[in-house]
């Protein structure tokens, strides 16, 4: 089976500007369809994405062409969707707490371990966003919970063997 990420990095390895654009497409779940870039059903102007990626508008156009010329990349970016609202930066405003976990390594059971500890203390999880380790250098997992998290619960999470660090937002 061909690994799409290997294709992605191979196509853009010598094209840093296009790689920056691809990173933004993935980060925000922007799709590429029919020569355009979309956030869900909203068409994003090349100039707006160029400003965000700090590249020329022509780099956006060439990135879109590179994606559409490769059947595997075209299929991937055609179906990519945004994940919805990320509550990290507004959590405190609505009475939530954000736990930011950096794992020691990517492995099964990280979410299960943390959610088990929270469930035992009747702490409701509102949202979990886990960054893909293949796409992000320092993977983080964001867990948004209702209310405050007691210190002993935080210590229990920190003591998990696969938790390198825990931050509270």
Q: pLDDT, tens digit, for every residue of 49-103?
A: 999 999 999 999 999 999 999 999 999 999 999 988 899 999 999 999 999 999 9
CATH of region 88-168: 3.30.70.260
Q: Assess whether pLDDT exceeds 70 at residue 106.
A: yes
Rounded Cα–Cα distance for residues 153 and 117 (Å): 7
Sheet holding 42-44, edge to edge: 31-33, 36-39, 42-44
CA distance 17 to 40: 24
Question: What was the pLDDT predicted at 1?
Answer: 55
pLDDT the model gives residue 9: 83
Where does the chain show beta strands of DSSP type E? 31-33, 36-39, 42-44, 96-103, 125-130, 141-146, 163-168
In contact, 102 and 164? CB cutoff 8 Å: yes
User: Which neighbouring-strand residues pair with 38?
Assistant: 31, 43
Judge if pTM exceeds 0.75. Answer: yes
Phi, psi of 168 (to 5 degrees): -115, 135
| pLDDT tens-digit map of 120-160 | 999 999 999 998 777 677 789 999 999 999 999 999 999 99
More confident: 5 or 70:
70
Predicted pLDDT at 6: 82
- Supply the pLDDT for residue 2: 64
> What single-letter DSSP state applies at residue 2?
-
Task: Please report, for the chain, the start and end positions of each structural domain, with discontinuous segments joined by +.
Answer: 4-79, 88-168
pLDDT above 80 (res 7): yes
- H/E stretch holding 28 reads helix 16-28
Axis-axis angle for helices 57-69, 16-28 (nearest 10): 80
- Provide CB contacts within 8 A for 82, sequence distance 6+: 28, 29, 30, 39, 40
């Amino acid at each position: 089976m061909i690994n799409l990420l290997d294709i992605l990095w191979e196509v853009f390895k010598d094209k840093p500007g296009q790689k920056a654009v691809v990173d933004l497409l993935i980060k925000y779940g922007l799709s590429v369809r029919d020569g355009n870039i979309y956030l869900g059903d909203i068409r994003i102007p090349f100039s707006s994405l160029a400003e965000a990626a700090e590249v020329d508008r022509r780099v956006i156009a060439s990135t879109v062409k590179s994606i559409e010329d490769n059947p595997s990349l075209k299929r991937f970016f055609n179906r990519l969707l945004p994940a919805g609202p990320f509550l990290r930066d507004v959590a405190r405003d609505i009475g939530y707490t954000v736990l930011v976990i950096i794992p020691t390594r990517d492995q099964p059971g990280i979410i299960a371990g943390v959610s088990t500890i929270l469930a035992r203390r009747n702490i409701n999880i509102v949202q979990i966003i886990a960054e893909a380790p293949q796409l992000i250098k320092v993977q983080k997992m964001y867990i948004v919970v209702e209310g405050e998290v007691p210190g002993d619960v935080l210590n229990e999470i920190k003591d998990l063997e696969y938790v390198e660090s825990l931050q509270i937002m």
